[in-house]
Chains A and B, each alone.
Chain A
Amino acid sequence: MIELQNVSFEYTATGANGETLHKNGVRGLDLTITDGEFVVLTGGSGCGKTTITRLINGLIPHYYNGELNGSIIIDGVSVPNTPIFETAKKVGSVFQNPRSQFFNVNTTDEIAFAAENQCTEPERIKEQIAETAASMRIEKLLDRSIFELSGGEKQIIACASVSVLSPDIIVLDEPSSNLDIEAIEKLKAVLTDWKAQGKTIVIAEHRLYFLRELAGRMIILDNGKVVKELHAEEIKALTFDDTEQMGIRPLSLSDIRFNGCKTASQGNTIRLENFDFTYKDGKHGINIPELELPENRVIAIIGHNGAGKSTLARNICGLERKCRGTLTLNCKALKAKERLRSCYMIMQDVNHQLFTESVRDEVMLSMTDKALTDEQKAGRADEILAQLDLIEYADTHPMALSGGQKQRTAIASGIASSKPVIIFDEPTSGLDLAHMKQVAGEIRKLRDMGKSVFVVTHDLEFILSCCEHIVRLENGEVVQNYELTNDNFHLLTGFFDGH
């Protein structure tokens, strides 16, 4: 049993000028989780759900600095007074980012890691690994380098590495953020197994649809406080309107509504020809002899894992020089190198594409027009920042911003570059409802400015809130290419229900 009694926590951090900052964690929280319960924590970013997972696995107060009040007791033992090494025997943790939670390079070593740390006999560990691998059907993933695995496979290995010690309690912090639909299905299967084994599961999540059948209790948080608690029956009864009103992601993909397209296409087209590209491994790649798409529209690129979505995006952008294909825009056929000059990509991890010391500089960096003076550039930058509600952060370092603000900064630089094509790679991974809607709004704005927008995504709700055209890839080839209308709507839902 997990008991949190009157728990308050505030993170302390050092600010830009050396002053101490306090960031909200949770306030006056009372929560009791009984053995075998499946609890979903949700709410907007910064609502305190991640903090709760950290209170349970002991990272607070043993790793994160801050002010902690109240008591956290697991099976009669106080977590703050127990070394985290001991808590680790009882509580397993899965984190959001599959890239940074592995200590080892080899997957088998990683699965064994937690058991090795507890000094389990090597023979016993090997047996447990074999058992875990068999029950999770991941024999194929054993003894591989983690750098060869997809994000979904990594997250499954993370689950296996938790499973091997068979802890009673498992906490997961936004495990689905970087996963596609298929990987989420696999994650769901693992969670179902765990639930059947009687483990206590606490999961902090934005995306909720895959938890509908599993959740025994859902706790909605806001600003560090519990605002609503729902039980299994109530959760299953939640409709799209209910969740919309609560400000959380829907619990079922099937009742998301489609309002139809509002504007008609103008008839100009973008033509892709001879997009033929294979990666060095010889297996993955795309082969698109010809593809015609509407100009000045928001085009979603969908498909299963490994279908070539990101590869297509990279090729449209001109990042792969070996691709000989051309993209015809405004009657000009652009080769890879020229496409780099007319396409702008907003990457999944925006941290990699922000280079300067302030948001304004970041936007000005994209203005390559030599005729402009620095003052003109700054003026134009401020205009763009105002459009994206970033003007108050103009002098802030981009890395000091929240994830959503960083993404908007990247969008602002994209606008400043005055390139006609803008590509988004998984823009909504790990976003809550409000932020997802915001991104959708920004993408519509880009369309209104006359840009053609490509979005690689597997977020149905997001597609319905801003995309107008769908390209579906399978095995590197285009299998469907249609305008999103009421008549074609079933094609899209068909893809998402296919699992």
Chain B
Amino acid sequence: MQIGLIGSSKNVIFDPDPRAKLSMLLAVNIVMISGGAAGVELVLRAVCAALPFLLLLSIRHFRAAVIYFILLGTAVYCEGFVLPYTHGIAGILLMIPCGILTRFTAGYVMCWYCVKSVSVSEFVTSMEKMHTPYFITIPLSVMFRYFPTLGEEYRSIHDAMKTREIGQSVKNPLIYIEYVLVPIMMSTVRIADELSAASLTKGLSAGGKRTHICEVRLTAADRLLILCSFAMIILFFVF
């Protein structure tokens, strides 16, 4: 799982603050997934559908932006113009994928954008700026750090299983799960122990104040984005 790949590169046209990105993600998710298609909600949906497209352009992922545009466009077109002329099972078969696409694509692309463009330290720093307590930020950093380790552990265990010719048959999934999970769980316990010891000697303390070398600052544009996102969410719930 690669996190924050684009964040470090320089050729980003517009890079909002992580907090702005998160509030946009929240708005897109809420509006797109359960929003209707009439009146104010239609306008909100249109805005939220456009956001991921523009953000993809801003990080120069033109191909992804075009694919997103075509996918969502087709689904919306089908829903609006083709569906009324279909009947019975054909209609249902068209309706379900279209429904899924129109509701989830924007949110999914938005997630992808956030994960790719926010580095772990940016994320944690902005969480702390939002006064997130230490008992959320510390485990959160550890989680992000532990994902790639889990991948490494799994690969080693998989290799070991191959050389020992065990767990290969699909006949007994429980045995397979035991062979994979137990060593991973053992490593998890061990790594948690060693990591705790190392962190303590580096002066990490529960609830202690920390500084950050990573800079996150809210610009006027970021504030505007956050304001708009929340305005959309409020509008959505009111109407």
Direct contact of A and B (CB under 8 A): yes
Mark A residues whose CB is within 8 Å of B. Answer: 57-59, 62-63, 83-85, 88-89, 91-93, 95, 97, 99-106, 108-109, 112-122, 125-126, 129, 143, 145, 147, 161, 165, 314, 317, 319, 340-341, 343-345, 347, 349, 351-355, 365-366, 368, 399, 413, 417
Contact residues in A for B200 (Cβ distance below 8 Å): 58-59, 62-63, 84, 88
A119 to B179, CA, bound (A): 44
The B contact surface, by secondary structure, is helix
Asked whether any CB of chain A lies closer than 8 Å to the CB of B93, the reply is no
Taking CB atoms and an 8 Å cut-off, the chain B residues in 148-172 that contact chain A are 148-149, 152-153, 156-157, 159-166
Cβ 8 A contact of A101, one of B3, B142, B164, B198: B198
Q: Which of B114-151 contact A (CB under 8 A)?
A: 119-121, 141-142, 144-145, 148-149
Residues in B whose Cβ lies below 8 Å from that of A147: 148-149, 152
How many chain B residues touch A (CB < 8 A): the figure is: 51
B213 in contact (CB, < 8 A): yes
**Residue pair B197, A352 in contact (C-beta under 8 Å):** no
B195 engages A101 (CB within 8 Å):
yes
- B145 lies within 8 A of A105 (CB): yes
Inter-chain contact A116/B120, CB cutoff 8 Å = no
B84 interface residue, CB < 8 Å from A? no
Contact A83 B205 (CB under 8 A): yes
Interchain Cβ contacts under 8 Å between A and B, 29 examples = A57-B201, A59-B197, A59-B200, A59-B201, A88-B203, A89-B203, A92-B201, A93-B198, A95-B194, A95-B198, A97-B194, A100-B198, A101-B195, A103-B142, A103-B199, A105-B120, A105-B148, A113-B204, A118-B203, A143-B8, A145-B148, A340-B163, A345-B163, A347-B160, A352-B153, A352-B159, A365-B166, A368-B165, A417-B165
Q: Measured between C-beta atoms, what is the minimum distance from B141 to chain A in Å?
A: 7
Q: Is the CB of A103 within 8 A of B202?
A: yes
| Supplied contacts A115-B211, A116-B210, 7 more A-B pairs, CB within 8 Å | A58-B201, A59-B200, A59-B201, A85-B208, A100-B191, A116-B213, A122-B212
- Cα–Cα, bound, A351→B159 (Å): 13
In the bound complex, residues from chain B placing their C-beta under 8 Å from that of A89 are: 203
CA of A59 to CA of B164, assembled, Å: 38
Which residues on the A side are within 8 Å of B162 (C-beta)? 319, 340
| Least distance between A47 CB and chain B CB atoms (Å) | 20
A341 lies within 8 A of B203 (CB): no
The 5 closest A-B pairs by CB, nearest first: A88-B203, A353-B160, A100-B194, A117-B203, A101-B198
Tell me which of A57, A59, A119, A165 contacts B210 (CB under 8 A).
A119
Are A104 and B141 within 8 A (Cβ)? yes
* Nearest chain B residue, comparing its CB with the CB of A92: B201
A355 touches B182 (CB 8 A): yes
Within 8 Å CB of A317, what residues of B? 163
- Asked if B190 lies at the interface with its beta carbon under 8 angstroms from chain A, I say yes
Complex: chain A residue closest to B163, CB-CB: A345
B-chain residues with CB within 8 Å of residue A126 when the two chains form the complex: 213
Whether the Cβ atoms of A340 and B165 lie closer than 8 Å is yes
In angstroms, Cα B163 to Cα A366, docked, is: 10
Task: Please pick, from A109, A115, A340, A352, the residue contacting B121 in the complex, using a CB distance under 8 A.
Answer: A109
Contact B201 A353 (CB under 8 A): no
Flag whether B209 is at the interface (Cβ < 8 A). Answer: yes
Which residues of chain B come closer than 8 Å to A351, judged between CB atoms? Answer: 183, 186-187, 190
Select A103's contact among B3, B145, B209, B213, beta carbons within 8 Å: B145
- Take A99-B191, A147-B152 as given contacts and tell me if A88 and B121 are in contact as well, using a CB distance cutoff of 8 Å: no
Q: A residues within 8 A CB of B195?
A: 100-103
A116 to B212, CA, bound (A): 6
Contact of B211 among A63, A105, A116, A165 (CB under 8 A): A116
Q: Does the CB pair B215–A354 fall under 8 Å?
A: no
Query: Is the CB–CB distance between A102 and B163 below 8 Å?
Result: no
The answer to whether B163 touches A122 (Cβ under 8 A) is no
B contact residues around A106 at 8 Å (CB): 119-121
Tell me the bound Cα distance from A165 to B203 in angstroms: 11
> Which of B148, B191, B196, B203 contacts A85, CB < 8 Å?
B203
Task: State the Cβ distance, A284 to closest chain B Cβ, in Å.
Answer: 16
Also in contact, A347 and B156, with CB within 8 A (given A108-B213, A117-B204, A365-B166): yes
> Which chain B positions have C-beta within 8 A of A102?
145, 195, 198
Say yes or no: B186 contacts A399, CB within 8 Å: yes
- Which single member of A104, A115, A143, A349 contacts B145 (CB below 8 Å)? A104
Chain A residues whose C-beta falls within 8 Å of the C-beta of B208 in the assembled complex? 85, 117, 119
| Contact between chains at B212 and A99 (CB < 8 Å) | no
- The interface residues of chain B lying within 8 Å CB-to-CB of A63 are 196-197, 200
Q: Is B234 an interface residue (CB 8 A)?
A: no
Q: For the complex formed, measure the closest distance between the CB of B148 and the CB atoms of chain A, giving whole angstroms.
A: 5
Asked if B214 is an interface residue, CB under 8 A from chain A, the answer is yes
In the complex, the chain A residue whose C-beta lies closest to that of B5 is: A145
| Cα separation A59 to B195 with both chains bound (whole Å) | 12
**How many angstroms between the C-alpha atoms of A408 and B166 in the bound complex?**
19
Query: Are A319 and B159 touching (Cβ within 8 A)?
Result: yes
Task: Return chain B residues, CB-CB under 8 Å to A112.
Answer: 213
Closest residue on chain B to residue A53 by CB atoms: B201
Bound-state CA distance A340–B163 (Å) is: 6
Whether A355 touches B156, Cβ cut-off 8 Å, given contacts A103-B204, A117-B210, A119-B210, is: no
- Bound: A83/B203 CA distance, A: 10
Which chain B positions have C-beta within 8 A of A122?
Answer: 211-213, 215
Min CB distance, B118 to chain A, in Å?
13
Q: Are B213 and A125 in contact (CB under 8 A)?
A: yes
Q: In the complex, what residue of chain A is closest to B180 when comparing beta carbons?
A: A355
Complex interface: chain A residues within 8 A of B183 (CB): 351-352, 354-355
Please indicate the chain B residues that have their CB under 8 angstroms from the CB of A399 in the complex: 186
Rounded to whole angstroms, the CA-CA distance of A332 and B187 in the bound complex is 39
Q: Chain A contacts of B190 at CB under 8 A? A: 100, 351
Q: A112-B213, A347-B156, A354-B183 are in contact. Are A103 and B141 (CB under 8 A)?
A: yes
A221 to chain B minimum Cβ distance, whole angstroms, is 21
In the complex, how many angstroms separate the beta carbon of A245 from the nearest chain B beta carbon? Answer: 34
Task: Tell me whether A105 and B144 are in contact (CB under 8 A).
Answer: yes
Q: A116-B212, A351-B183 are in contact. Are A366 and B164 (CB under 8 A)?
A: yes
CA gap between A113 and B161 in the complex, in Å: 37
